[in-house]
């Protein structure tokens, strides 16, 4: 339903905003039901559209879009949906449901890609999209008559307070808010919103193009990111290229010294190498060398049944 106000057609009921709000609520309770409102498994995250960073780098690229609909914490859900209802309604009533849908789709992808590239985690929730909507509304407030009656001061104060609170909780309480998605979302929204300005638009279009190129490339090549290095190590490991796998795992650990999976996979490669050496030494009758190698394997993997059995066969 539409009505003409001051010569401008506006959507009276924000259908898309309402549908998106309902979808996020439904997913929140569905995930809780499947996980019995306890610890959520990796398979459940993937099932509902939130694969881990390494899974995205290994090909589940759709995760940079669908992860925006997923909320795990109730206060994250409530906060994001309140902002969505405010900002989504503002945009949908003035620019239309299709415009909001396309803007949100692209914004969710852009913000998730930045969060992934800069933090090794694509993040969850609509915070990046909400800040993109805020940046868009702020830019349009100064360039588009349809947005002149928006209470931009109150909205700016609200979003600024939320951002400051998130920064504080990240720095001093070790909470994990997607700050990279918020910053990138806000800048993306400003860039898109500024395209109506007769002068600024000439700077906006190159920035839009550059941002899209960066986000696309970073999904396939992000050597500064630990999870990208790990994903390349996994691929090399699976195809039997141990040299490349060792190189990628080592780079991953340099970037993130606490990356246990990379360390475990490096240990597996080393155990495989020691096992080959031990087998050859045992077969050739060099029992002293075989014993040393079996013992070294057991130091790295005390439960290694193969090394234990072969060690017991030695005189």
Q: For the chain, what is the largest distance between any 2 Cα atoms, rounded to a whole number of angstroms?
A: 97
Mean pLDDT to the nearest integer, 230-259: 94
Angle of helix 74-95 relative to helix 152-172, nearest 10 degrees, comes to 150
Domains: count for the chain = 2
Per DSSP (E only), the strands in the chain are: 2-5, 8-11
**Same domain (yes/no): 94, 200:** yes
What is the overall mean pLDDT for the chain? 89
Compare 311 and 10 and report the one with higher pLDDT: 311
Q: Does residue 183 share a domain with residue 44?
A: yes
- 62: domain CATH number is 1.20.1540.10
Same domain, 118 and 140: yes
For residue 2, the cross-strand partners are 11
| Domain limits for position 54 | 2-218
Do 134 and 66 lie in one domain? The reply is yes
On whether both 273 and 257 belong to a single domain, the answer is yes
pLDDT of residue 262: 94
* 167 and 309 belong to one structural domain: no
- pLDDT at 290 exceeding the cut of 90: no
Decide if 248 contacts 232 (C-beta within 8 A): yes
**268 and 203 in one domain?**
no
Over residues 46-64, mean pLDDT: 93
What does the pLDDT average to over 301-306? 85
Residues 204 and 303 in one domain: no
Report H helices in 48-151.
Answer: 53-57, 63-66, 74-95, 97-119, 127-143
Of the candidates 200, 218, 236, which is a domain's last residue?
218
pLDDT in tens, 68-122: 999 998 989 999 999 999 999 999 999 999 999 999 999 999 999 999 999 889 8
Question: Strand 8-11 and strand 2-5: pairing?
Answer: antiparallel
| The pLDDT value given to residue 4 | 39
Domain shared by 202 and 243, yes or no: no
pLDDT at position 3 over 50: no
Question: Which residue among 154, 183, 218 closes a domain?
Answer: 218
Residue 62 and residue 155 share a domain: yes
Q: What is the structure's pLDDT at 167?
A: 85
Q: What is the CATH number of the domain that holds 248?
A: 1.25.40.10
**259 and 283 together in one domain:** yes
Shared domain check, 274 and 176: no
The answer on pLDDT for 151 being more than 50 is: yes
Last residue of a domain, which of 158, 191, 218?
A: 218
């Amino acid at each position: 339903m539409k009505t003409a106000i001051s010569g401008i057609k506006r959507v009276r009921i924000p259908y898309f905003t309402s549908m998106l709000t309902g979808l996020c609520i439904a997913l929140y309770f569905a995930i809780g039901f499947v996980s019995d409102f306890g610890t959520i498994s990796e398979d459940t995250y993937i099932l509902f559209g939130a694969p881990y960073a390494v899974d995205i780098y290994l090909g589940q690229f759709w995760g940079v879009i669908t992860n925006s609909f997923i909320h795990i914490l109730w206060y994250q859900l409530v906060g994001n949906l309140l902002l969505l209802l405010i900002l989504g309604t503002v945009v949908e009533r003035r620019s239309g449901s299709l415009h909001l849908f396309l803007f949100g789709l692209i914004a969710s992808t852009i913000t998730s890609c930045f969060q992934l590239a800069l933090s090794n985690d694509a993040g969850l929730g609509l915070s990046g999209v909400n800040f993109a909507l805020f940046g868009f509304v702020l830019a349009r407030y100064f360039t588009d008559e349809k947005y002149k009656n928006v209470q931009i001061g109150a909205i700016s104060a609200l979003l600024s307070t939320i951002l400051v609170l998130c920064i504080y909780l990240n720095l001093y309480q070790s909470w994990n808010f997607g700050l990279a998605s918020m910053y990138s979302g806000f800048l993306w929204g400003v860039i898109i919103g500024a395209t109506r300005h007769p002068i600024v638009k000439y700077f906006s279009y190159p920035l839009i193009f550059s941002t899209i190129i960066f986000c696309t490339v970073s999904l396939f090549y992000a050597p500064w990111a630990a999870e990208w290095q790990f994903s390349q190590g996994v691929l090399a490991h699976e195809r039997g290229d141990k040299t490349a796998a060792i190189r990628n795992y080592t780079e991953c650990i340099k970037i993130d010294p606490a990356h246990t999976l990379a360390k475990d996979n490096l240990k597996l490669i080393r155990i495989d190498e020691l096992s080959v050496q031990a087998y050859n030494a045992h077969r050739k009758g060099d029992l002293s060398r075989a014993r040393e190698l079996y013992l070294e394997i057991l130091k790295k993997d005390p439960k290694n049944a193969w090394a234990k059995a072969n060690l017991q066969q030695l005189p």
